[in-house]
Each structure stands twice: as structure tokens, then as C-alpha cells.
Structure 1
């Protein structure tokens, strides 16, 4: 009886790096779900508890839509980054993803700016 073994792949040479890449990818997915969830939370809380205020309605809708956009963008960019990093690990050409990190950080800062405007103008903190 002959036992066949799978041949080692290039991926098997860098198992720890690939598993770390996968954990990072899953962390980005959890982050994107949280970003979208926070947008829905703000929008739902606004329309449940706040009297109708045109500025508040616009800010709440903007926060909700921006959160969905940033969440979906995060999923797309993290998926692209996951496969690129996997290839780069195997080729030993990995480079830190500065542009993606910068873009996502700027998008999140814009959402937080809208959060701040919302709380200042709607909850009467001024």
C-alpha cells in the first residue's frame, strides 16, 4: 500500500506569517462591522429620541451613510491587502501598507468629525 503525501507549498514555509495575516484580516472585518454598526446606532438613536431638527437629520443621515461607506471600503481594502500581503510574504517582498492605512484613518477621522458636529449642534453642548 502506497501512502501519498502532499508536497510542501511555498505557503508552508511562512505559516506563522500567513496565520498572522489572516488574523489581521479578520480584525479589519470586525472593525468594518463595528463602523457600520455605529453608524446605524447613531441614526436610529437620533430618529428615536430627538425631535425633528433639520440639521440633526442631515448630520445623522450623513453619519449613517458615511459609516456604511467607510465600512464597505474597509472590507474591500482589507481583502485586497490580505491577498497582496499573502503574495508578498511568499515572495519575501512585504512592504507596510502606508497608503491604505492613511486613507482609512482619514475616512474615520471624517466620520468622527461628523459625530462631534452632531453632538455639539444637536445635543446642545454649545
Structure 2
């Protein structure tokens, strides 16, 4: 059996959870790419011309999808680096004081900001559709 097997197993489970999260973020980015279909539906519900709403958001929606896909890739890369660093720390006899948690915090902030921008786009579209007669 491998030395510190429990710690290595926990490290691997965390790594796999991050991989799943990265894949989910990338899938969400793909969904956002197809977001104009949802915007068209909102336009139909509010009895607006669906093409006028979709044209307003065309420059933003593909970029938001790309940003989420890129954040998913970054999450997987950060997870891989953290897995490697943690595996080295588990096997080391010395104590490590410096934690690389700033990467996780930065990634969380970036995903949160991208979500806020996407929420703003949806809210603006709903308000834009509701105001016009």
C-alpha cells in the first residue's frame, strides 16, 4: 500500500471534483453560446420581434460563452497544478506554510464576475423587452 494512502486518495477525489466542475463550466459556456435561442424565446413571450432582441446581444453572448469555456479550462489547469503540489506536500517530511489558495479565490471571483455579467445581460433583455410597446 502507498504511504499516506488516505491523504493521496483525498487529494485525488478533490482533483476529480475540480475536473468535473471545470467540465460543467465549459458545458455552461457552450450553453451560453446558444443563448440567443433563449433571448428569442423571451422576445416571443413579450410579443417582440425576436430578431431585434437577439441583434442587441449578438456581440456579447458569444464572448460570454467563450469566457465561461476558458474559465472551465483554467479550472482544470489550476486543479492539475494543485493536485501535483498537494501530492508533493503529502510525501514531504517538511511543513508547508504557504498555501496557494489565492488561485482558487481568483478563479471563484472570475466565475462570479462572468455570472454577474450574464445576469445583467438577461435582466437588461427582460427590461428592454418589457419597456417597449
- In structure 2, the gaps of 5 or more residues are 41-49
Superposed displacement of residue 105, structure 1: 0.7
Q: Distance in 1 between matches of 2:32 and 2:70?
A: 15
CA RMSD in angstroms, aligned pairs only? 2.1
Partner of 2:112: 109
Q: How far did residue 64 of structure 1 move? A: 0.3
Query: Which runs of no fewer than 5 residues in structure 1 stay unpaired?
Result: 1-7
- 1:31 is aligned to 2:28: no
2:6 maps to what in 1? 16
- Using the alignment, how far apart are the partners of 2:58 and 2:106 within structure 1? 27
Does structure 1 conserve the Cα–Cα contact (< 8 Å) formed by 2:33 and 2:66?
no
Count, aligned residues: 116
**Structure 1, 86-95 or 67-76: larger mean CA deviation:** 86-95
1:3-82 alignment to 2 at 5 Å? 12-47=2-37, 50=40, 51-52=50-51, 53-82=54-83
Whether the aligned pair in 1 keeps the contact of 2:8 and 2:87 (CA below 8 Å) is: yes
The TM-score normalised by the length of structure 2 is 0.76
In the other structure, the counterpart of 2:45 is none
Residue deviations 1:40-79 (CA, integer Å, cap 9, x gap): 1122132465234344112211210111110010111110
For 2:110 and 2:56, how far apart are their aligned partners in 1?
A: 21
- Is the Cα–Cα contact under 8 Å of residues 32 and 61 in structure 2 kept in the other structure? yes
Following superposition, the deviation at residue 111 of structure 1 comes to 1.3
Q: Which runs of 4+ in 1 moved over 4 A?
A: none
